[in-house]
Amino acid sequence: MGAAVTGAYRALICDLRSDQLLDVLPLHGVSLDSYIGKTGSCTGTIPIPNAQIAARVRDAVAPGRTALWLERGGDIWWGGLIWTTEIRSDERGRLSMGIQAGSFESYLDHRLLMTSGVAEGMDQFDLARYMVDYAQQTTGGDIGIEYDARTSGVLRDRTYSRYDLKTIREMLDDLAAVENGFEWRISAHRDPVSGRRIKRLQLGHPVIRTGKSDIVLTRPGPVLSYTWPVDATKQATVWQSRGAAVNTNAAADSVPLMSNTYTDIGAHAAGWPRLDGTSDHTTVETESTLNKHAAADFYAARAPRTIPEVTIALARTPLTPALLGATVRLRINDLMWPDGLDARYRVVGVAITAPERGRPEVARLYLELP
């Protein structure tokens, strides 16, 4: 994982397409997060104390075309694309630039499928890579996303229409969110041999896993605090999904394609009330594909959603954002867990707040059952 280190964050400002380094600037008030299955973000403030720094900021930072790599102790802790900036002047005339950036997945939110295509019997990892290739092989679209050639062993048939105007991000998420699907993200790191900054498409079937051994976190210990939300608002014991509108009779109204109905018979036998759930997949025109979406949605909705969050002091625990997908062994002993909790969880998100004015650097880990 690499040890946590002390020292300021540095903002490496680069051209998004070529990754040419444009400038290295200090970044204060850093807050960053990374997730599996969701776009990460980074916010911070670049101080502008003099005309020289002002000129450098004007020359280097261009929202929508500038990449931000966050470096700490020589390691890359975060990478993404600057989307918004804000020049600020306080009552004393002191200037700064606030920045907001999205992790490299956010670029695919801004790329549309503009050609139709059909895939038959293609491994879902190959199909995911094909989507990224489509985005990068168009003029101006190559931002240097790399990938390996591993396959998942799961074959998919898909038909894509340019008239749907779906983003590449939506297509990847839809492909992944089916029964026996996968997880994906774009990791940002530095090659340990060459030192080169890398954007890599990371694929995992059925989930992304990293690390070879569990990371032990305890309270009392490095766990400063925790929250344990349990949310049953989206729980369901019966499920049916809706697909695209179909019309086999020109004289009749169009009706949507409907999936099989899925029922948790065991939950009803155990005393749970009937809770109905549904989801829409309005571009899916094949019943078998719709059923795979419905089965995955139903599986995710069968139990109350629990995503524990633990806050740890980075100075006391050697962790970095590279731990996404790693397994932690969480041990808690307090009034709610008088006999002690000792359970394994997978890290699916991490949010880091930099130290400032005596405040320690802390990380919030978002966990799910492995």
Average pLDDT of the segment spanning 280-299: 93
d(CA 59, CA 65): 12
Q: Show contacts of 187-190: CB within 8 Å, 24+ apart.
A: 187/322, 187/324, 188/69, 188/76, 188/78, 188/79, 188/80, 188/103, 188/104, 189/76, 189/79, 189/322, 190/75, 190/76
185-236: pLDDT as tens digits: 999 999 989 999 999 999 999 999 998 889 999 998 889 999 999 999 999 9
pLDDT at position 12: 97
- For 249-259, the pLDDT digits (tens) are 666 678 899 99
* pLDDT on residue 133: 98
pLDDT at 249: 64
Span 28-36, average pLDDT = 94
Average pLDDT over residues 41-64: 96
Looking at residue 3, what is its pLDDT? 34
Torsion of CA 167, 173, 178, 184, to 10 degrees: 140
Higher-confidence position of 314 and 335: 335
Check: CB of residue 243 under 8 Å from CB of residue 290. Answer: yes
Question: Is the alpha carbon torsion for 316, 321, 326, 330 positive or negative?
Answer: positive
pLDDT at residue 267 is higher than 60: yes
Whether the domain at 10-107 and the domain at 215-229+307-368 fall into the same CATH topology: yes
Residue 45 near residue 99, CB atoms below 8 Å: yes
The residues spanned by each domain of the chain are 10-107, 111-204, 215-229+307-368, 238-301
For 56-102, the pLDDT digits (tens) are: 999 999 999 999 999 988 889 999 999 999 999 999 999 999 999 99
Least confident among 14-28, 107-121, 231-245, 249-263: 249-263
pLDDT band of 248, cuts 50, 70, 90: low
301-333 per-position pLDDT tens digit: 998 888 899 999 887 777 777 889 999 999 999
Q: In the prediction, which pLDDT does 356 show?
A: 72
Mean pLDDT of the chain: 92
DSSP-derived letter for residue 106 is G
Query: Does residue 7 carry a pLDDT above 50?
Result: no
Q: Is the pLDDT of residue 6 over 60?
A: no
> In the prediction, which pLDDT does 251 show?
63
pLDDT above 80 for 182: yes
**Of the ranges 54-63, 93-102, 138-147, 278-287, which one carries the lowest mean pLDDT score?**
278-287
80 with 70: CB under 8 angstroms? Answer: no
* pLDDT attached to residue 314: 83
SS3 293: helix
Is domain 111-204 given the CATH code 1.20.120 in the classification?
Answer: no
Specify the CATH number for 215-229+307-368; select among 2.30.300.10, 2.10.109.10, 1.10.10.2120, 1.10.1200.10. 2.30.300.10
For the domain 10-107, what is the CATH code? 2.30.300.10
CA-nearest of 238, 239, 241, 254 to 286 is: 241
Q: Is the pLDDT of residue 264 over 90?
A: yes
Whether the bond between 206 and the residue before it is cis, its omega within 30 degrees of 0, is yes
The 3-state DSSP class for residue 256 equals: strand
Query: Which of the two residues, 253 and 43, has the higher pLDDT score?
Result: 43
pLDDT of residue 73: 81
